[in-house]
């Protein structure tokens, strides 16, 4: 729910401040799914507010359940931009003295519709960027997942990772505002250390996060032990090569004292050889506050192949021998394309929306040019036109793989 809209609607009716607290409590702590469920409000007021303030800033278009107990939501913003959110279930060993399995739930949220960074192994990267999500569109993904009340039935979610669509540090302010809401005792009250931001190495974001008072975790999608391999799979490496990224990480570590999680996707024949493991160990250094998560590659319609379990285990053993802690992360929701790198609402939808955005911008520009008598501005390519040309090129590239 967009609280700016809510505050304005309540102020217009001269309602006391406790009404806003009641509404936000119902939405963010009790995980009400609609105005009908905010039963602390008189019915007539609920009906009035429903006309003016959408209960959620995102709409669920499709819901899929995985065999492993995870769920994926395909959502849209109110102006039609697609995004996805996943709730992953991880089963723990049985609780002592019981035969009950313990399950933990992690919400994977998107920070953008699409992404501009075009990592070659990632389905989202093939979409191009739609737009940044607002703080409420990020928070509402979490609330939509909590409303499903899977597991214990109370909507409990244990962890949040900003690892869905998009590069979170391209949308820094909205991501941080959403995290503060998740962390707030007036919201879901999730401990900051249970929230992780994953970046491909956007240095200004890492530097800024180092100075934040909130104790969120940082994960770095590294995926390669040297610039040559990294540059071949992640175009962002041209802007921020490894030495700059790791320098920023070390400063972050010095300032915060917190461990950094290194995400490393295992791609057969690309980055998974013993010499890559040795190079990675050398790059990170022993006992330096890095923990490497080796990740199974999930099919995303490219011609990459995931490394075998044996290769991954051998890679992890080399890291451990050299003093770098490592673990092998098991993918969740792979059967519903909800695993790492697989999040991509249809490219066609993004293209359609880009076209609509372009038309709207052109109309705006033309109206402005006519009004000011600057007719020559009608010939100038707009940001929307450049964006669409870029998106078309990416879509064609993705289709040709």
298 binds ligand SF4 (CB under 6 A): no
Closest CA to 218 of 170, 266, 161: 161
6 binds ligand SF4 (CB under 6 A): no
Nearer to ligand SF4, 27 or 395 (CB): 395
Nearer to ligand SF4, 112 or 183 (CB): 112
Q: Annotated catalytic sites, by residue?
A: 84, 340
205 binds ligand SF4 (CB under 6 A): no
86 binds ligand SF4 (CB under 6 A): no
Closest CA to 281 of 248, 251, 233, 315: 315
115 binds ligand SF4 (CB under 6 A): yes
Half-sphere exposure in the Cβ direction for 312 (13 Å, CA): 20
Nearer to ligand SF4, 6 or 292 (CB): 292
357 binds ligand SF4 (CB under 6 A): no
Q: Distance between CA atoms of 186 and 199, rounded to whole angstroms?
A: 28
CB of 373 to ligand SF4, least distance (A): 42
Nearer to ligand SF4, 82 or 166 (CB): 166
**Sequential DSSP letters for 329-396:** EPP-SGGGT-STT-----HHHHHHHHHHHHHHHHHHHHHHHHHHT-GGGGGSPPHHHHHHHHHHHHHH
Candidates 52-60, 93-101, 119-127, 273-281: pick the segment binding ligand SF4 (CB under 6 A): 119-127
Q: Which residue is closest to ligand SF4 by CB?
A: 125
Contacting ligand SF4 (CB under 6 A), which of 71, 83, 87, 119?
A: 119
Contacting ligand SF4 (CB under 6 A), which of 165, 176, 248, 281?
A: 165
CB neighbour list of residue 119: distance below 8 Å, 6 or more residues apart: 125, 200, 221, 223, 233, 234, 235, 236, 341
108 binds ligand SF4 (CB under 6 A): no
Evaluated on CA atoms 311, 398, 170, 241, the torsion sign reads positive
| Chain residues in the site for ligand SF4 (CB under 6 A) | 115, 117-119, 122, 124-125, 165-167, 200
């Amino acid at each position: 729910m967009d609280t700016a809209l809510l505050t304005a609607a309540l102020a217009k009716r001269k309602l006391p401040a406790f009404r806003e607290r009641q509404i936000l409590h119902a939405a963010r702590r009790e995980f009400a799914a609609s105005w009908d469920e905010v039963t602390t409000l008189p019915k007539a007021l609920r009906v009035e507010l429903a006309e003016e303030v959408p209960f959620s800033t995102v709409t669920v278009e499709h819901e899929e359940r995985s065999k492993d107990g995870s769920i994926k939501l395909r959502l849209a913003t109110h102006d039609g931009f697609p995004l996805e959110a996943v709730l992953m279930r991880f089963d723990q060993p049985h609780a002592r003295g019981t035969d009950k399995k313990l399950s933990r739930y992690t919400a994977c949220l998107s920070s953008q519709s699409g992404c501009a960074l075009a990592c070659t192994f990632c389905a989202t990267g093939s979409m191009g960027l739609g737009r940044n999500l607002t703080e409420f569109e990020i928070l509402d993904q979490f609330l939509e997942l909590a409303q499903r009340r899977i597991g214990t039935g109370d909507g409990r979610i244990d962890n949040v990772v900003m690892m869905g669509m998009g590069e979170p540090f391209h949308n820094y302010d909205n991501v941080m505002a959403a995290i503060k809401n998740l962390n707030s005792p007036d919201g879901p009250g999730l401990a900051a250390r249970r929230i992780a931001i994953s970046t491909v190495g956007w240095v200004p974001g890492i530097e800024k996060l180092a100075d934040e008072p909130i104790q969120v975790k940082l994960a770095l999608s590294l995926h390669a032990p040297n610039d040559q391999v990294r540059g071949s799979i992640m175009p962002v490496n041209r802007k921020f090569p490894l030495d700059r990224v790791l320098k920023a990480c070390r400063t972050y570590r010095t300032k915060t004292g917190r461990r950094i999680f290194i995400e490393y996707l295992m791609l057969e024949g690309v980055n998974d050889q013993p010499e890559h493991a040795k190079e990675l160990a050398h790059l990170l250094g022993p006992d330096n506050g890095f923990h490497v998560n080796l990740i199974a590659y999930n099919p995303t319609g490219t011609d990459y192949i995931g490394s075998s379990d044996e290769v991954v285990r051998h890679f992890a053993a080399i890291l451990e021998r050299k003093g770098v802690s490592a673990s092998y992360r098991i993918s969740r929701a792979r059967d519903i394309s909800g695993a790492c790198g697989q999040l991509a609402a249809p490219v066609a939808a993004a293209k359609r929306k880009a076209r609509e955005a372009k038309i709207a911008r052109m109309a705006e520009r033309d109206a402005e040019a006519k009004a000011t008598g600057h007719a020559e501005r009608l010939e100038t390519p707009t940001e929307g036109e450049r964006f669409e040309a870029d998106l078309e090129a990416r879509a064609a590239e993705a289709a040709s793989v």
